[in-house]
Structure 1
């Protein structure tokens, strides 16, 4: 029997994917798996029972990834599950920025008691005129699950699309329309594009990607969209750009004291993934990741350990070893298996940064004695008997 806990409300369509072998607990200290959305886990003390955390969403800045890795706790996210929801909101933001829809709607509200509002509107609408996105140049920084969808959809809407991502995955490359201009220098995005949207994860290396220097290279009247993370953009530099006329509009999905209520800023309360469909998709993927890891030892979509998939275990035993990414580890594992007479029928080892993961199938049951000996090897973080 496995126990799991939810730190935020998780869609029932996802939780219903747990079988009768799973029990929900309100005590996080007895949970082997945790499901979370936005709740911060940085101040939490992690129980030795905890094996994995699944974030029902893409961003994981609310989870202490390295601390989890040091304790042998695998952290998952759900890339792509909310991609369509974010993509659609990006286009909503783009249209709100190009055409003064918000100003026009506010005018109607302010003049709701005018008996001649229809006639008055014909005169007033000139103040809310805008432009069209067709034939505009769109720059997409980051071609992951969301960026690719935005780029492809923009092409279908008649835009000229430039994409930048030095780390584009094979899957994303295959999904990207051949009509997208894939640039290798981000300055080309800054210098050529009328509208720029950013879709990269928040890392030390990406913080402040849209900087003062980047803004200086942009076209006059540029529109900047940020539905990824607020710290990717130097928002003080953006406000200065709006004041000078360099930036026409800044659209952000992250309400904060810098941009909220500021002229030229359209700020939303983090609505990107706030659709019923996205929440359902994230919940289903998160539950599937937890189940696959707890039941089979497989790691899919981890952000702190390497992905590793050996399918459903059909042998007598399977053991999972989370360890440091250092030399001679496999030789040490093999020595223990040989010493105890364990025949390994299948074996895989993957690494990611400072950490690595080994999964092994045996022709005989894995005993606690085996697990104990493996745990004693220097560099091993955690050993788990899967079957």
Structure 2
């Protein structure tokens, strides 16, 4: 079987080539690594490949999927847990198997969320820049004790539950919202409440929910209005959870004290690319960069050695299961 991997970088290629050999996927199957991200025009690069492997910012919409199918593709392997980038209805219509990596390293993302939280609170990014210029004054760097504060966790899957554990370790009161309560989160002393109660009570809100129509823009003008003055918002899940224009207004008014984003709605045009020589055309993203109390990282929360290894091994397991016509335990239906 031939498989085309889209949106690959040097670290992807190095990791996947090694793991493909370790797991016996190559040379039995032929893997081609492609730099472009998948869209309706680049889909032709996978012509003759029964499988394609895509990542978070690939565009597997109806047009892309029909182009892939016409070229002989019958399986789409995801190198990630989320599947909001693929039109599942069209995939089902075309008979395309969609297989994901349901968990790779929840610790990586949860720890990154905590890092954003503490960097914002203690102004580490500003302090770093000052001391590099031999400026050791403390004015403007005042933070607060996380101990005793209230942290709201929206979404308590594997990542959200681990973030709740980290938050509890700081001595914070942890509130959570999810449609299904997590026994793991409950074991850390988490209190499940409504979304509105999280908005009203939390000093810090961390988003760990998947992106569905029901969760799109859960952070919006109305929800921000219900929040405490000076709230901190962290998002390491999906950019579409936040109405970014409403977030900018919250920052301008002072209602929102700090924002840590590893994801951004519309990030596909920028993230995983070097845009330093150009201009950010997205006015909302450009505006966010002007706030000293906003930290943006380029969807790197997952990026640890352990996570790359786990993504690689699970992807190879999925490929072997599909090729052998075995049950696809990680299939998205």
2:75 counterpart of 1:52: yes
Aligned to 1:130: 143
> Could you tell me how far apart the structure 2 residues matched to 1:46 and 1:127 are?
53
SS in 2 for 1:196: strand
**How far apart are residue 25 of structure 1 and its match?**
4.8
CA separation of 1:193/1:184 partners in 2, compared to 1, >3 Å: closer, same or farther? closer
Q: 265, 270, 275: which one pairs with 2:304?
A: 275
**Higher alpha-carbon deviation: 136-145 or 63-72:** 63-72
Q: 32, 43, 47: which one pairs with 1:29?
A: 47
Q: Max radius of gyration: which structure?
A: 1
CA separation of 1:140/1:87 partners in 2, compared to 1, >3 Å: closer, same or farther? same
Q: 238, 243, 251: which one pairs with 2:247?
A: 238
Aligned to 2:218: 209
Per-residue deviation, residues 37-62 of structure 1 (Å, max 9, x unmatched)? 24333343123642321111122233
Aligned to 1:247: 256
RMSD of the TM alignment (CA)? 2.1
2:148 counterpart of 1:148: no
Whether contact under 8 Å (1:99, 1:132) holds in the other structure is no
Structure 1 length-normalised TM: 0.69
Q: Which protein is richer in helix relative to its size? A: 2
2:31 counterpart of 1:8: no
Instruction: Please give the residue correspondences for 1:87-106 in structure 2 after superposition, counting only pairs within 5 Å.
Output: 87-106=110-129
**How far apart are residue 299 of structure 1 and its match?**
2.0
> Could you tell me how far apart the structure 1 residues matched to 2:138 and 2:53 are?
48
Q: 189, 192, 203: which one pairs with 1:180?
A: 189
Aligned to 2:270: none
Q: 54, 58, 75: which one pairs with 1:39?
A: 58
SS in 1 for 2:259: strand
> Could you tell me how far apart the structure 2 residues matched to 1:208 and 1:158 are?
30
Instruction: Please give the residue correspondences for 1:188-203 in structure 2 after superposition, counting only pairs within 5 Å.
Output: 188-203=197-212
Structure 2 length-normalised TM: 0.80
Ranges in structure 2 where 5+ consecutive residues have no aligned partner: 34-44, 268-281
Whether contact under 8 Å (1:198, 1:226) holds in the other structure is yes
Per-residue deviation, residues 195-228 of structure 1 (Å, max 9, x unmatched)? 0011111111111101111111111111001111
> Could you tell me how far apart the structure 2 residues matched to 1:96 and 1:229 are?
20
Instruction: Please give the residue correspondences for 1:62-81 in structure 2 after superposition, counting only pairs within 5 Å.
Output: 62-81=85-104
Per-residue deviation, residues 233-261 of structure 1 (Å, max 9, x unmatched)? 11222222222221110111135631431
**How far apart are residue 184 of structure 1 and its match?**
4.1
**How far apart are residue 64 of structure 1 and its match?**
2.8
> Could you tell me how far apart the structure 2 residues matched to 1:180 and 1:302 are?
33
Instruction: Please give the residue correspondences for 1:293-332 in structure 2 after superposition, counting only pairs within 5 Å.
Output: 293-303=322-332, 305=333
**How far apart are residue 29 of structure 1 and its match?**
2.5
